[in-house]
Structure 1
Amino acid sequence: MNNQPEWITVGALADGFAPEAFILPNLADLAGQSFTLHFENGWQIEHRFSTGQLAWSLADSSASGEAPYRATSVREGLYLVDFLKQEDGRTVSVSLVLDIVNAAFTAVLGRMPGEVEVRGDLFSKALTGDELTSVKAEFHHGSLDRPWQPGACPHTLTRELVGLRNLYRYSPTEVYEHIYLNENFYSWQCLKGVEQGLADTDRCHTLKIADSLYLFVWREKIIPTLGLVLIDLENHRSDGKIFGYASGDFGELSNFPVSSHCSVLNRTEYPQ
């Protein structure tokens, strides 16, 4: 009888990924620049970048803040900016895809559930029609330094990854496989690393950013986790982050970078 592989916290996962991780460099390209993000929903938020630090302020409001940030780029003229901010006493994960070429952006706001939400059983959630994961993610589009107009952001939901089976090498010791099932779900398994033998099917969202470039976001239900990566199928690279509780006491949060060398294993073509 095979032993049951053990689920681990996001903090333990971060420790496993860290040694010799293939992470992309944290760029200083944005230092000294500022962008006003005009959201489709009407928000206007100025973001001012310095070396390693980001300041933001909401127009017509006293809301503002500062945070350290990570900025990376898998394609020229496009940056992934990631940071954490405090909102009503809770930590919010903010990931911005800044599309300088198209003067557009996509923002993903992620929130971890509280302990009571996490400890609710999956069966009860299924019976009430709730999502099985309690991790929340909001998606917003907008324009950079210009008023929003319909169609100003070219980033769109897509099914282009459906049927793809992809291999991700995050470090010499951490290797995963993804199978993209449909627009709502994907399956993953750890082939090598601290989660070796673990696998699941989780909620996901895929946006096409450019040709062969996708923003992929997933929300796990067993260990509350928000994952977000830009997948560049042309250059066989991915870059992003994983966000969740560092340990089982629902105290400290972990928000760590993940980058990989990725390759297509195969693609299934489904009959119409």
Structure 2
Amino acid sequence: MTSTELQDYIPQDQWPPVSAMLDGFGDQTLPASPALAGTTVRLPAEDGSTTEYGFEDASSLTWRVSGRVANQSGTATYKAIEARPGIFIIDFVLGQGVAAENVTIVLDHNTGAVTAGVSRFVTVDGKTRSTTEFIHSNTFGSAAVHGRSTGLVGKRIFYRYSDVETYEHIYLNPGTFTWNCIRGGEAGLADTDRCMTWDVADNLYIFFWTEKVMTVEAVLLVDLREQRSIGRMFGWDDPAAEPVILPFNSRLSVLNTTEYPQDTHKH
């Protein structure tokens, strides 16, 4: 019997805390790139403000938000991974506790397109929940940005985050997917949640999901050509009352792609 045949439905009140994934996922193993040192990325937002990230060296950056009532600035430690030549996924955390924010930027030096996802905590009905805001821009000043994608729809993909953590995703439509933990700290857990996908390059996608049971926001690159994903999960551990920040990379296999029958007769 496979592990999935031994598992059964698990009621929500029996789910473990989000920190149950921490030990099994381990450390992100892909190397950091120093290629962005000495460069600056400016992102204008729809509200008229501009966020500027200056990469001081291979791991330190400064940030500044201008154009709002109160300008803000600060420093952070970042990691940049070159997912493909000229295409970077950059990740860093600002603040602490319930005020923490996880910023993930996908920057394509080939096209100038850049997408920034900022995940933070909010209070809803007295509970700590999470939300993510996305900004799409172009460092070349052109109109080319990462556009919404249907490239994952219909695919069933198996993700190996470590030797002990494996999941599958089933992409139902551009805004909905199902995840299922095959093995690991969440074994037997499954749900259907909101997602969004954007095109970056051929068979390379930004993928975002947010969970309705656990307080989790995930932003990652799914690379079908290189058969890997790179990204992070940002969540809130209720029992410990603290953020859970989980950078990861995985090996993936496309299990199948669903093709619906083209009905030619009306009944």
Assess same fold via TM > 0.5.
Answer: yes
- The residue number in structure 2 matching 1:138 is 133
Q: Residue type of the partner of 2:86?
A: G
Distance 2:206 2:126 in 1: 27
Q: Residue type of the partner of 1:55?
A: T
User: 1:57-80: per-residue Cα shift (whole Å, max 9, x none)?
Assistant: 134563111111121122110111
Q: Is 1:157 aligned with 2:145?
A: no
Distance 1:57 1:245 in 2: 26
Distance 1:10 1:97 in 2: 25
SS at match of 2:24: helix
Shift in alpha-carbon separation, 1:76–1:39, aligned structure 2, 3 A: farther
TM alignment of 1:97-112, pairs within 5 A: 97-112=106-121
Kept in 2, the 8 Å contact 1:242–1:256? The answer is yes
TM-aligned CA deviation for residue 115 of structure 1: 6.7
Unaligned runs of 5+ residues in structure 1 are 120-133
Distance 2:62 2:118 in 1: 17
Shift in alpha-carbon separation, 1:52–1:246, aligned structure 2, 3 A: farther
Distance 1:15 1:157 in 2: 33
- The residue number in structure 2 matching 1:7 is 15
Unaligned runs of 5+ residues in structure 2 are 1-5, 263-267
Kept in 1, the 8 Å contact 2:61–2:76? The answer is yes
- The residue number in structure 2 matching 1:47 is 53
Which has the higher relative contact order, 1 or 2, with Cα contacts under 8 A spaced 6 or more apart? Answer: 1
Kept in 2, the 8 Å contact 1:40–1:142? The answer is no
Q: Is 1:166 aligned with 2:174?
A: no
The CA RMSD over aligned residues, in Å, is 2.4
TM-aligned CA deviation for residue 117 of structure 1: 4.9
TM-score, with normalisation over the residues of structure 1?
Answer: 0.83
The number of residue pairs the alignment matches comes to 250
- The residue number in structure 1 matching 2:250 is 260
Distance 1:91 1:136 in 2: 12
- The residue number in structure 2 matching 1:57 is 64
Q: Is 1:73 aligned with 2:82?
A: yes
Q: Is 1:216 aligned with 2:223?
A: no
SS at match of 1:16: helix
Distance 1:174 1:230 in 2: 18
TM-score, with normalisation over the residues of structure 2?
Answer: 0.84
